[in-house]
Structure 1
Amino acid sequence: MKQGIHPEYRQVVFMDTTTGYKFLSGSTKSSDETVEWEDGNTYPMIRVEISSDSHPFYTGRQKFTQADGAVARFNKKYGFKDENEG
């Protein structure tokens, strides 16, 4: 491996700006902002808009009503009836 061409790999704290959830992970990202972690050490902190703590796939809070509404509008527009209706 050539010396001096690879980014520095270090521990970084990522913070979900939506929920405030923080997690420590290895990364090559850098930041001027730092935070003291649970172990007493100070690490660079990267703010992210979404993480597993706020993403609907991981939280189970997906919104299926929008898709259902679109299907209902399509069926109504083209005269299809719901199989469950009499």
Structure 2
Amino acid sequence: MKQGIHPDYHPVVFLDSATGFKFLSGSTKTSGETIEWEDGNTYPLVRVEISSDSHPFYTGKQKFTQADGRVDRFNKKYGLKDANAAE
């Protein structure tokens, strides 16, 4: 293997900003922030927006910001009624 071409892996604590979930993992990321981990050692802290603790795929909680589709929004906007809807 060539020397000097591989990144430097070191332990880093990742913090999910949404839930406060923290985990320790090896990474090439660096940070100016540090945090003391459960083992008493201090590690660089990298803040992330989404982790397995907050992602809908892993939590099973889907966020539905928009319930109706484009056709329904168009009809609602222009006051049209669905001819197939049961009244």
Same fold by TM-score greater than 0.5: yes
Q: Give per-residue Cα distances to partners, 1:3-51, cap 9 Å, x unaligned.
A: 2222111111000111111001111111121111011111111111111
Q: Do residues 9 (structure 1) and 12 (structure 2) align?
A: no
Q: Higher helix share goes to which structure? A: 1
The match for 1:81 is: 84
One-letter amino acid of the structure 2 residue matched with residue 81 of structure 1: N
Which whole-Å CA distance do the structure 2 matches of 1:40 and 1:80 have between them?
67
CA RMSD of aligned residues (A): 2.5
User: 5+ residue gaps in structure 1?
Assistant: none
The match for 1:70 is: 69
Which whole-Å CA distance do the structure 2 matches of 1:22 and 1:45 have between them?
9
Deviation at 1:72, TM superposition (A): 7.2
Number of residue pairs aligned between Structure 1 and Structure 2? 83
